[in-house]
Amino acid sequence: MTQCAFGGGIFNTSWQDILSGLGWGLGYFGMPHILVRFMSIEKPSMIKKSSIVAIVWVIISLFSAVMIAYFGRMVMGAELLTQGNQKLVFIAMARRFFPAGICGLLLAAIIAASISTADSQLLVASSSFTADLYKPFFRKKATEKETLFVGRILVLVLSLIAFVIANSKGSGAQAIMDMVENAWGAFGASFGPTILLSLFWKRFNYQGAVAGVISGFVIDLGWLLTGMTASTGIFEIVPGFFGSLVVAIIVAKLTSAPNEKAAAIFEQGTSKNAN
C-alpha cells in the first residue's frame, strides 16, 4: 500500500510538472511583445529564417533555465525549498559561487531582461491603443503626430501604474511574479489558439477568432479564481488554451467561411513564393 501510494504521488506530481511546463510553452503563441517582432518582418520569405533564430534561442534559454534549476536543487535544494525560495535559485547561486564583480553582472542581467520585456510591453500596449482604439473609434482623422503624442502619454501613464504596483505593500517581488504568471496564462489562452488557427487554417473566420479569444480568457480566469490551479497543480493556461482551441474550431465550422478577399490574402501569405 505504501509503495502504491508513494508511486502514485510521484507520478501525479511528475505529470503536473509536465503539464505546467507545457503550459508555459503554450504562452509564447499569445505574447504581444513576441508576436510583434514577427509582424514587423519586411517580407514573408524572411519568416523561415526568423523562426529558426527564435526557436534556437528559446531552446538555448529554456535549456539553461532547466540546468540552473537542476544544479540548484542538487547544491542548494534543502536551503531554498524549506524556506519556499526556490524561485530565487539563480540569485542565490550567483551570490554563493561567483566573486562580487561577476555576481553583479549576473544580477544586472536579471534587471536587463526585465527592462527589455517591460519596454516591449509598454510599446506594444501604446501602439495597440493608438492604432486599434484611438484612431478607429475616437479620432478617425488623427494625424501621425497626434497618435504619436497619445502613444507617448499612454506609455507614461502605464509606467506610473507599474511603478505604483511595484512599490505597493504586500509580498513584493513574489506578488509581481504572480501577476506575470497570470498575465502569461491569460494572453496565451486567449490569443494563442487564434494566432495558430489564423496561420494554418484557411477556413478560420472572424466569428471563430472572437469566440476563441473570449472563451480562452474566461476558462483561464475561471480555472484560476475557482482554485483549480492550486488544487490540481495545473497552470490555468492549459485548460484555457485547449478550451479556446476547441471553441474556436466549432464556431468557425458553424459559421460562414471567410470571403474571397480573406482567402486570397491567406493564399498569398502562405505561398512558397511569397515575398
Would you list the DSSP string of 146-188? HHHHHHHHHHHHHHHHHHHHHHSSSSTHHHHHHHHHHHHHHHH
pLDDT band at 273 (very low <50, low <70, confident <90, very high): low
Average pLDDT over residues 64-76: 85
Q: How far is CA 65 from CA 62, 87, 237, in A?
A: 5, 11, 20
Q: Which residue has the higher pLDDT, 183 or 165?
A: 183
Nearest by Cα to 244 from 268, 274, 221, 272: 221
Q: Is the pLDDT of residue 34 over 80?
A: no
> CA dist 69 to 25, 62, 93, Å?
17, 11, 10
CA proximity to 58, closest of 92, 26, 105:
26
Contact (CB, 8 A) for 26 and 194:
no
Domain segments of the chain: what residues?
106-168
| DSSP secondary structure letters along 191-258 | HHHHHHHHHH-TT--HHHHHHHHHHHHHHHHHHHHTTHHHHH---THHHHHHHHHHHHHHHHHHSPPP
pLDDT at site 170: 57
pLDDT digits (tens, 9 = 90+) for 215-271: 999 999 999 999 888 888 888 999 999 999 999 999 999 998 888 888 888 887 777
Q: If pLDDT is split at 50, 70 and 90, which confidence band does 174 have?
A: low
How big is the CA angle at 142 (ends 132 and 140), to the nearest 5 degrees?
Answer: 60
- Segment (H or E) for 12: helix 2-26
Q: Which long-range contacts (CB under 8 A, 24 or more apart) does 92-97 make?
A: 93/68
Q: What is the pLDDT of residue 246?
A: 96
Q: Which of the two residues, 189 and 142, has the higher pLDDT score? A: 189
Q: Degrees (nearest 5) of the Cα angle 162, 163, 169?
A: 100
What does the pLDDT average to over 98-115? 86
pLDDT confidence tier of residue 274, bands split at 50, 70 and 90: low
Percent of residues, the chain, with pLDDT higher than 70: 86
Query: How many beta carbons lie within 10 A of that of residue 132, not counting itself?
Result: 10
Task: Give the global pTM.
Answer: 0.69
Q: Over the chain, what is the mean pLDDT?
A: 81
Q: Residue 2's pLDDT is what?
A: 38
Per-residue model confidence as pLDDT tens digits over 133-172: 888 888 888 888 888 888 899 889 988 887 887 776 655 5
Rounded to an integer, the average pLDDT of 106-126 is: 81
